[in-house]
């Protein structure tokens, strides 16, 4: 289908009983750019992410993935078709501990394609190599890998079906500042190399200055600010200025990559 905005939310609301968690959120993510969604605990970021990937249905509103509204879809078959356009990188990489690196990364191809074992192995090796891992990791189990290597393996798995969109759930969670920067670089390199649209749920304010073309601040289920990281940090919106100021992050120091 193809669209300039592969992810678009229009007045999305989500309630659990009488609890309104998402209260009319609208935004869109431009093709081959990175949108980072920030906000405090309980802001609704996780619920938002689950709706974008089709694991949760909105109470009302529209969620367009590559131009198709997934809000009305109820059949698992239809949702799975759309989900193949999305790669998901979970918090802590969420690899299956009982499977080797090869088996973890090959999993989407085994599930969704009719490729031969040899073809699958070649694709796995190729994707890992692109992400800076060689064949020595193939037979290892997740427990034998460093945190940064696990993130790379999780990203390789998310890329196997060549999705147009990659969604990251707290990719810097539990990482020290140096590892966090490495993961940010990986997200940005992946976006450039594969021309993917990235949606990142994050609590790491420093990383928005490094990777975000668009930053969205969600508080109590509403978008209170949206724009470039500099617009949020230094613009007219007092709430976003205050939120970033309280994080103690200096945007100019945090930035290691500049966007045109």
pLDDT score of 259 more than 70: no
- CATH code where residue 210 lies: 3.40.50.300
Predicted TM-score (pTM) of this structure: 0.88
* Phi/psi-derived region of residue 253, left when phi > 0, alpha when psi is between -120 and 50, beta in every other case: alpha
Q: Give the model's confidence band at 113: pLDDT under 50 very low, under 70 low, under 90 confident, else very high.
A: confident
Does residue 178 sit within a domain? no
Q: Give the model's confidence band at 247: pLDDT under 50 very low, under 70 low, under 90 confident, else very high.
A: confident
For residue 9, the model assigns a pLDDT of: 98
Does residue 58 sit within a domain? yes
Q: Give the model's confidence band at 92: pLDDT under 50 very low, under 70 low, under 90 confident, else very high.
A: low
For residue 41, the model assigns a pLDDT of: 78
Does residue 243 sit within a domain? yes
For residue 255, the model assigns a pLDDT of: 64
Does residue 254 sit within a domain? yes
Integer Cα distance of 86 and 248 in angstroms: 33
For residue 140, the model assigns a pLDDT of: 96
For residue 93, the model assigns a pLDDT of: 64
Does residue 95 sit within a domain? no
Does residue 13 sit within a domain? yes
pLDDT score of 250 more than 90: no
Over the stretch 199-227, which tens digit does the pLDDT of each residue have? 999 988 999 999 999 999 999 999 999 99
Q: Give the model's confidence band at 118: pLDDT under 50 very low, under 70 low, under 90 confident, else very high.
A: very high
Domain span including residue 242: 1-85+201-260
Integer Cα distance of 181 and 113 in angstroms: 34
pLDDT score of 85 more than 60: yes
DSSP string, the chain: ---S-SEEEEEEEEEETTEEEEEEEEEEE-TT-EEEEE--TTSSHHHHHHHHTTSS--SEEEEEETTEE-TT---HHHHHHHHTTEEEE-TT----TTS-HHHHHHHHHHHH----HHHHHHHHHHHHHHTT--GGGTT--GGGS-HHHHHHHHHHHHHTT--SEEEEESTTTT--HHHHHHHHHHHHHHHHHHT-EEEEE-S-HHHHHHH-SEEEEEETTEEEEEE-HHHHHHSS-HHHHHHHHHHT--HHHH--S---
Does residue 247 sit within a domain? yes
Does residue 108 sit within a domain? no
For residue 164, the model assigns a pLDDT of: 92
Q: Give the model's confidence band at 180: pLDDT under 50 very low, under 70 low, under 90 confident, else very high.
A: confident
Q: In Å, how far are 213, 242, 258 from 26, measured between CA atoms? A: 17, 22, 26
Q: How many independent structural domains does the chain possess?
A: 1
Give the residue, 63 or 77, on which the prediction is more confident.
63
pLDDT score of 5 more than 50: yes
């Amino acid at each position: 289908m193809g669209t300039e905005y592969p992810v678009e939310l229009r007045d999305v609301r989500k309630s659990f009983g009488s609890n309104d968690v998402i209260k009319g959120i609208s935004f869109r993510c431009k093709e081959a750019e990175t949108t980072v969604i920030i906000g405090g605990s309980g802001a609704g970021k996780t619920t938002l992410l689950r709706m974008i990937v089709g694991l949760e249905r909105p109470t009302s509103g529209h969620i367009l993935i590559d131009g198709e509204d997934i809000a009305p879809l109820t059949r698992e078959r239809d949702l799975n078709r759309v989900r193949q356009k999305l790669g998901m990188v979970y918090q802590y990489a969420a690899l299956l501990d009982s499977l080797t690196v090869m088996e973890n990364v090959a999993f989407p191809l085994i599930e969704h394609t009719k490729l031969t074992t040899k073809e699958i192995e070649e694709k796995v090796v190729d994707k890992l190599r692109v992400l800076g891992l060689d064949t020595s990791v193939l037979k290892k189990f997740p427990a034998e890998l460093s945190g940064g290597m696990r993130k790379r393996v999780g990203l390789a798995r998310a890329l196997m079906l060549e999705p147009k969109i990659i969604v990251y759930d707290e990719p810097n969670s539990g990482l020290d500042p140096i590892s966090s920067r490495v993961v940010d670089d990986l997200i940005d390199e992946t976006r450039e190399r594969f021309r993917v649209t990235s949606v990142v749920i994050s609590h790491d304010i420093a990383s928005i200055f490094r990777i975000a073309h668009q930053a969205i601040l969600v508080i109590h289920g509403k978008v209170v600010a949206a724009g470039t990281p500099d617009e949020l940090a230094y613009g007219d919106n007092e709430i976003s200025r205050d939120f970033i100021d309280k994080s103690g992050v200096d945007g100019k120091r945090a930035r290691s990559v500049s966007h045109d």
